[in-house]
Amino acid sequence: MPRLGLALGGGGARGFAHIPVLELLDELGLKPSIVAGTSMGALIGALYASGMAGRKIRALVKDHLISHIQGRRRRLKKGTELLKWIGPLVPDLRHGGMIKPDRFLRHLLGGITKNRFEDLEIPLALVAADFWTGEEVILREGPLLPAVRASIAIPGVFPPFVMADRVLVDGGLVNIVPYGCLAGSCDVSIAVDVGRGEEPGRTDLPTVLDSILGACDIMQVAALETRLAARGPDIHVRARIAGIRILDFAKAEAVFEHARPAVEELRRRLVAIGLAR
């Protein structure tokens, strides 16, 4: 059986699309020999590499997020619990971010019993960016939670994270889908791209925050296209998710639905190379 490598890209709330991909691999009995992740892909990848099945990750998310399709009564009922989970969205401007991610991470990563990279069931590589040098930083060893926090530190949203005397921010700034981290550790590489879907015809003006995050999206997509043109993964799964902003974490159910075509395309690709029926 060929060794599979799985790279999970960044995209904020759109990263929930990685969960159906993991469920498909579980269904087919395919366990990656290595996982790489950037930003939200780092967070989901850490859960998976620790031994949590895709369906359990979905349950964890659904238990603690308010879906946009749920009724008003359910939203009101769960609103208090949601605030307890993510913590108050109080600006943390002194340290360079708008939201303190501690409670968010502490809960979503609560299913992980292994605290270090070395203890994970699947080898894991996470990507962050050095704010002052602009360099890509690949994290593969040592404490896990600090590495995840560094990888998801979207500038202006989450505060930077200091590790080993480096100020680290969101890995998507330098490598939004880190399939290059899989090189030499697998025979078949799968890269899951959850970039923003196009919305032709829209003419409404974005908010200031949407402008900043959207501009990052545009630059990241352009950088990825250049990287893909030079050398791509064996299987590139593109889940274009329109209408979901980076911070739309309450829209997990909508993301799952948007991801269906990409998941089925991955199934077809795996069948084509003899890894599934």
Cα dihedral value 221, 134, 151, 228, nearest 10: 30
Do the beta carbons of residue 117 and residue 147 sit within 8 Å?
yes
Q: Which region, left, alpha or beta, applies to residue 112 given φ > 0 means left and ψ of -120 to 50 means alpha?
A: beta
- State the catalytic residues: 39, 170
How far is Cα 156 from Cα 92, in angstroms, rounded to an integer? Answer: 9
Distance CA 139, CA 97 (A): 22
Q: Which 8-state DSSP code applies to residue 236? A: E
Question: What's the Cα-to-Cα distance from 216 to each of 1, 76, 78, rounded to whole Å?
Answer: 39, 33, 32
Beta bridge partners of 189: 5
Q: Closest Cα partner for 54 from 11, 24, 9, 29?
A: 24
